[in-house]
Amino acid sequence: MSARDRTRGTASRRTFITGGAAGLLLAPGLGSLAAFAKPADIAFDIIRKGEKIGVHEVRFTTLGEGEFEVHTNVDVAIRLGFITLYRFEQEITEVWRRGAMVEARGITNDDGEKARLRAALEGGELTIEGPAGRQKAPLGAMTDIAFWNPKIARQDQIVDTWLGQLAPLLVGAGDVEEIELRGRRLRTRRFSFVANRGRSGKVWYDEAGVWVRGYLKTPSAELDYLPTV
């Protein structure tokens, strides 16, 4: 499949889960991450039609003062009995320094079709390499899986981790909503988003600005993200 075909974003299995809940945003009024601080780890179960089909995990490791590594792992499998009908795996590692992503590398395996991503800081801007080719992005650009960081709310473009290119992002105003989550009542702010390749959804943040729930709709599926028990 050519890079042009990938960019068109056809409603294939690729659009099922790639990019996760990209563009989940935090707006003014919610708590925010302390400047350059390493966030707490996040883990979600991915639910489809009431059944757990995978996990989405984000782990953080301190590298130095004002610098940390972000490792995102997504693992999805749809099975019928002992038969695996569909498998999606994504591992992306990012390096953040003083509040900006300066490196990203990883691989996405969409049911056997693999795509590699690499981004590095060169001459004050990011050089991105992936299936869509090589291009430049400004320092401060973020990937479509960096929804753990409230600074993404300032972005109108994000780096698509499957295509390896900049893509548009639209986010609606947040609404205050009280939800029940794993037996707890939480006051949250809910945002709607529209990303590329037919993806859209909703995200919920608690009053401290921590991502607590997600909903993703693609041309092929509807997925809920619930905190891992």
Provide the residue ranges of all domains of the chain, joining segments of one domain with +. Answer: 3-227
Q: What is the pLDDT of residue 5?
A: 45
Q: What is the mean pLDDT of residues 51-55?
A: 97
Q: What is the pLDDT of residue 103?
A: 97
Residue 131 has pLDDT above 80, yes or no: yes
Q: What is the pLDDT of residue 43?
A: 96
Closest CA to 151 of 36, 17, 21, 20: 36
Q: Using one digit for the tens of pLDDT, what is the confidence trace for 56-108?
A: 999 999 999 999 999 999 999 999 999 999 999 999 999 999 999 999 999 99
Residue 204 has pLDDT above 90, yes or no: no
Q: What is the mean pLDDT of residues 146-175?
A: 86
